[in-house]
Amino acid sequence: KVTVSVLYCVVRPGMAKPVGSELEFNVAPGLPPIRVSQRIDSMVVGQGVWNAGVALPFWLAKNANLIRGKRVLELGAGCGQAGIAAAALGASEVLVTDQAEVMGHLQRNAERNAVAVPNVAAAELDWGLAVPGCLKEHQTTEADTEDATSEVTPQWCPEVLGKQWDVILCADCCYGEDSVVPLTCTLRLLRKLCGASTVVMAHDDRNERATALLAAEMDKYWTTKQFPLAKVAKCMPPDDDPAVRCDGAHVPLRCEQSMHFYVLRAPFNAG
């Protein structure tokens, strides 16, 4: 067993989702703006920017020591703004990943920022399908179950498996209950296979049952400490700061009482 640190952020409806097609993030003074496109008319959810994905780059900017000089892997990167922000903030290498249907969009956003933020690559990783063996432990009684991650070798691309990763980013990865267990199994496998010892996760509470299941899964492997709201608010730009623009218009970011950040620190069962 090893120690793993996790930021677990629950963002409830208090932040407006940007509804335009072109977004610009100015996450910290002196850094180049991060520009990404989204497809708001797409049925593919990964081609849009969602609430927790808006908040995470600004949290990283205030906690850059966590990623500076580190290799960072983002799961379910979508439009890629969090991973690109991590690179701009000093990560030594960043790999943004998502499902095949999102990859063209994600790759274009990475390339769009490549001149100012060159250390970002994109690769396919469908964590929802990668760990079927892990699910066995959720289909047996606890008394009969051993950690299934010890028996699984996922079919992930060499860009993921070929390196050791220090930090994993996740934002808005769980939209329903069916995605929770594959995500948490993937995090455990990444620790076992790639050495990832820190996870930064932002989760938007759209589905109470999914959020409850995610919390229960986390509690199996981590203990939870909640950030005071005042500290969370300090990570977000003030309402009058045009840190996020959508099709050129200022998008105010508000830290509502419904926004929750947690740190999870505990022995992590890596198998």
**Bridge partners, residue 36, by sequence:** 23
Task: Print pLDDT tens along the chain (271 aa).
Answer: 344 455 555 554 444 455 568 889 999 999 999 999 887 666 677 777 877 788 889 989 998 998 999 999 999 999 999 999 999 999 999 999 998 889 999 999 999 999 999 999 999 998 766 555 555 555 444 433 345 455 556 778 889 988 899 899 988 888 788 888 888 888 888 888 888 778 888 877 778 888 888 888 877 876 665 566 566 667 777 777 788 887 788 776 665 544 555 555 444 444 4
Q: Rounded to an integer, what distance in angstroms lies between the CA atom of residue 126 and that of residue 112?
A: 23
Residue ranges with strand state E in 110-207: 120-124, 167-171, 198-204
CA 157 to chain centre: 19
**160-170 burial by CB neighbour count: b if 16+ within 10 A, else e?**
beeeebbbbbb
CA 35 to chain centre: 18
Helix (H, G, I), strand (E, B) or coil at 5: strand
Look up the pTM and report it: 0.84
Question: Residue 159 in contact with residue 210, Cβ under 8 Å?
Answer: no
Q: Which long-range contacts (CB under 8 A, 24 or more apart) does 40-48 make?
A: 44/101, 44/102, 45/78, 45/175, 46/76, 46/77, 46/78, 46/79, 46/98, 46/99, 46/101, 46/102, 46/105, 46/106, 47/78, 47/79, 47/102, 47/105, 48/17, 48/78, 48/79
